A and B are shown apart, each in its own frame.
Chain A
Amino acid sequence: MRSGSLPQFRERIAVKISMIGAPVALLAAAALTLSACAANETANPGTGGTGSTTASITLSGKGASSMSAAQQKWIAEYQTANAGITINYSPDGSGAGREAFISGAVQYAGSDRPFKDEEMGAGKFGKCTAESNALNLPVYISPIAVIFNVEGVEDLKLDPDTLAGIFAGTITKWNDAKIVATNPGVTLPDGNITAVHRSDDSGTTNNFTDYLNQASPSVWTEAASDTFPAAFGGEAAKGTSGVVDAVANGSGTIGYADSSAAKELGHAQLKVGSEWLSPTAEAAAKIVDESEQLKGRSEHDLALKLNRKAAGVYPAVLVSYALVCEAYSDAKEAELVKGFIGYVASAEGQKAAAEAAGSAPLSSDMQAKVKAAVDSVK
């Protein structure tokens, strides 16, 4: 009896294996037989085939998501010009980038703010030599637009107190007297204001709250911070895309976001002195020239204290930095970083980013300063 059941039993086992094996085998086969070809990758010598990233030299960066579009463009242009190099930038956020740079997981970082004085120091950074400090180089300037979606309203002018009041939750209706005062001739509806801010920590929030705090300290009583103050209420959305979508799909909404991300929505004009300024590239880039270097920093460390009150300067601006070492432990890495960041800060690099990401190109003065700093990297 046992002998009769054995072949049947074997068949059953085979069935069991095929039951689990078939889908998994298919997956494995799919992964292997197609042996990793991409039409755009095999064209590049040295980067095609399996494990393309291990065959070439890799530069790793991490940091702010605000400049991820610009980083993509810079990386694409640089990789096309230098086929043997692969650069990976993870837009995990400024904090993660700074931390990765400190621990030595990446060769450069992108950050929405420079290292603070207490974070700086020789030998504190993983990829740098023991005597080397870090350098904060501004490479990306982006105006922050105040976007709105109100039925029947095309243009909006908001002075600092009104803007602060809206986001602080003290002004709740669109036809409030303060808004009407600065917008003659515009019919504002009698609806509730839904003010949208970032739910995640972000450099955009930091720069926006910094502006509100400096321009309207009586209404905006909180200091600048990456997190929008919870006490002021309002609606929260994740990421720039989240804020833009929330404003676009809602009604009676207002929010703040990178101006390049929200082209279809209306941008409000902000009051500086007695002028009304729109978030344009020129008005935004001026802030870098009007701002001073932080005190006590080395000659090539271009960390800036942003001056949001200067005339003709659009005040709600985000300045992002590339964090690099003064001197790298590995000479090859130093070469890579110098080449890449040098390109980033150059005229073509800034122009490419302006086209691809809508940033404001660095002025030629600042470009020269950054180039000098990059040249000093060992």
Chain B
Amino acid sequence: MSTLTSTTNKVNPLTAGQLPGFALWVTLAGSVVIGGIIDSLVFYGFDIWTTAFLGAVIFLPVIYAVARGVEGRRAAADRLATALVSGAFLLALLPLVSLLWETLSNGVARFDATFFTWSMRNVIGDGGGAIHALYGTLIVTGIATLISVPIGLMTAIYLVEYGRGPLARGITFFVDVMTGIPSIVAGLFAYALMAIVFGPGTVNGFSGSIALTVLMIPIVVRATEELLRIVPNELREASYALGVPKWRTILSVVLPTALSGIVSGIILSIARIIGETAPLMIAAGFTNSINTNPFANPMMTLPVFVYDQYAHPGIERVFYNERAWTGALTLIALVMVLNLLGRFIAKRFAPQTGR
């Protein structure tokens, strides 16, 4: 019964039973190479996307098998999960990069001063701009936000803090239903409302805002409600224990805790409706001239401008297409600025969490 002394190859207990750090990258590279070989031989010639796809498909089972052999079942499952989750992110980048590249490369051509200072009044073919559409979008979306955010926020507060009975259940249910209203139906509703109140054929910016409000409220409610629900009850109870009235608890404790998420939700809803085309076509109409009065006359908006330039071009289609893409680029830039602003505000004013 002699104790076996350790053999000459020293095993480091900290890294025993684990794959070396380079193993991951070697496996990845190997899978891509094998994928490329299969692609060239079996498919219609070498193509980078097919290679990447095949590489990914080969990589997943290989890394699982290798890790399972060396590290064990649980660690292998962990590696597979990491690979899948990272893969999901990379997969989402593909359409994003493609979309942004399309918009940027096509939209940069007309991203000039003329575009932002001219309208389309009396402009045929080259030249012209979208300043009338830009104003329209800002005004219509601004009014919609002004109406939707207070109503949505207060409803979410009601559902989380106050609602207990059939009214709350009914509101929750119907907000769900509202999320499914097709955008064009919201436009029809706004158009019909204006027709009943002001006479047939009334199109104006405010009608467009009404359509957008119908679409925006459920998103604000749904997003805010979830985030308010997640605020731990202990915080609320601590506040009540100190004698703070309920309404002040909500304003000072619950809302700030959920602040970053709420601002995120609001920005999300603005992003959702700012690009809506169909309802605005019906409710706010077309025009080529500037109109800053939301209560009279049609008002052009950016998404309708983009669609109109694409769908109803003149002879030299290229000029209209260019303006359409630049309009799209402007829309995206607008939302991104709002997004940045929202994140900045959220970060500045949110309480420090453990994360």
Q: Which residues of A line the B interface, CB within 8 A?
A: 9, 12-13, 15-16, 18-20, 22-24, 26-28, 30-31, 34-41, 44, 47, 50-54, 58, 65, 68-69, 72-73, 75-76, 79-80, 86, 88-92, 100, 103-106, 239-242, 260-261, 355-358
Contact = CB atoms under 8 A, between A and B. Distances in A.
Interface in B252-271: 252, 255-256, 259, 263, 266
Contacts of B128: 40
Contacts of B150: 20
Given A12-B252, A104-B201, A241-B310, 11 more contacts: A34-B135, A38-B121, A39-B118, A47-B289, A51-B292, A52-B289, A53-B291, A68-B312, A88-B286, A90-B285, A104-B200
B287 interface: yes
B138 interface: yes
Query: Which of B149, B251, B313 has the largest number of chain A CB atoms within 10 A?
Result: B313
B293 A54 contact: yes
Interface in B201-248: 201, 248
A12 B256 contact: yes
Contact of B142 (A27, A34, A79, A239): A27
Contacts of B132: 38
A15 B349 contact: yes
Given A23-B341, A27-B141, A90-B286, A73 B293 contact: no
Nearest to B296: A54
Contacts of B315: 69, 260, 355-358
B200 A103 contact: yes
A239 B309 CA distance: 12
27 contacts: A20-B150, A34-B135, A35-B292, A38-B129, A38-B131, A38-B132, A38-B290, A39-B118, A40-B122, A41-B289, A44-B121, A47-B121, A51-B292, A51-B293, A51-B297, A54-B293, A69-B314, A69-B315, A72-B314, A75-B288, A76-B121, A76-B123, A80-B122, A90-B285, A92-B281, A105-B200, A357-B315
B286 A41 contact: no
User: Nearest 3 CB-CB pairs, A to B?
Assistant: A105-B201, A68-B312, A27-B142
B100 interface: no
Nearest to B127: A40
Contacts of A27: 138, 141-142, 145
A54 B288 CA distance: 14
Given A88-B287, A261-B313, A261-B317, A31 B122 contact: no
Given A38-B118, A50-B292, A51-B296, A24 B341 contact: no
A54 B142 contact: no
Nearest to B136: A31
B194 to A, nearest CB: 11
B46 to A, nearest CB: 21
Given A19-B349, A41-B119, A26 B248 contact: no
A76 B341 contact: no
Contacts of A89: 286
Given A72-B124, A79-B122, A65 B290 contact: no
A36 B135 contact: yes
B117 interface: yes
Contact of A31 (B123, B135, B200): B135
Contacts of B187: none
Contacts of B296: 51, 53-54
Nearest to A358: B315
A31 B117 contact: no
A90 B291 CA distance: 15
B220 to A, nearest CB: 11
B326 to A, nearest CB: 16
Contacts of A65: 311-312
Interface string B134-146: 0100110110011
